[in-house]
Amino acid sequence: MSDVSLTVNGRRVSGNAEDRTLLVHFLREHLGLTGTHVGCDTSQCGACVVHVDGRAVKSCSMLAVQASGSTIVTIEGLADGAELHPVQAAFKEHHGLQCGFCTPGMIMTATDMIARHPQGLDEATVRAELDGNICRCTGYHNIVKAILAASETMAKGAKGRAKQAA
């Protein structure tokens, strides 16, 4: 058994878990954060993507104890209170989800993708970047649309904030 201390969605948490416990199971079973999903056992589907110290990580590919000391954001911590994150809002507006199971991982991947492409995204880049996330419902059409739209919204927002600061 190992002690695990993390900052999750802005809250310091700690627990004691079997050494073999994966981060995804620690989040789901110890912390009750069931928004992060398990869709496969080979780190292929991406339903479990969370942010670990600012980077998108498949939480099934990391032991909880390895993550100890990290700052983690899960789908539950993405919105700013009642206000949805622009990626969440775009998934809703553009019908980027159906059954909702892959959605948390998609949104966490998309958020990271947009952050890594401040110059903006095009369709080919979005499709290539989504290689680690599988969706069986949407055919990706509206997911791609939602990510492109969110990318634009966030770029506008960033420009707006830069203007205000100036």
Residue closer to another protein by CB (options 79, 158) is 79
Closest separation in Å from C-beta 164 to another protein: 28
Question: What is the C-alpha separation between 96 and 89, in angstroms, rounded?
Answer: 10
Residue closer to another protein by CB (options 136, 161) is 136
The binder of another protein chosen from 26, 104, 112, 149 (CB under 8 A): 104
- Within 8 A by CB and 6+ apart from 61, the residues are 22, 43
Question: What is the C-alpha separation between 56 and 86, in angstroms, rounded?
Answer: 17
Say if residues 104 and 59 touch (Cβ distance below 8 Å): no
- 36 near another protein, judged by CB under 8 A: yes
Which residue type, as a one-letter code, is found at position 87?
V
Binding to another protein (CB under 8 A) within 54-73 occurs at: none
Establish how many alpha carbons lie within 13 A of residue 88's alpha carbon, considering only the half-sphere containing its beta carbon. Answer: 13
Contact positions vs another protein (CB under 8 A): 18, 20, 28, 33-42, 44-45, 47, 74-76, 78-79, 84, 88, 91-93, 95, 97-104, 107, 123, 126-128, 130-131, 133-145
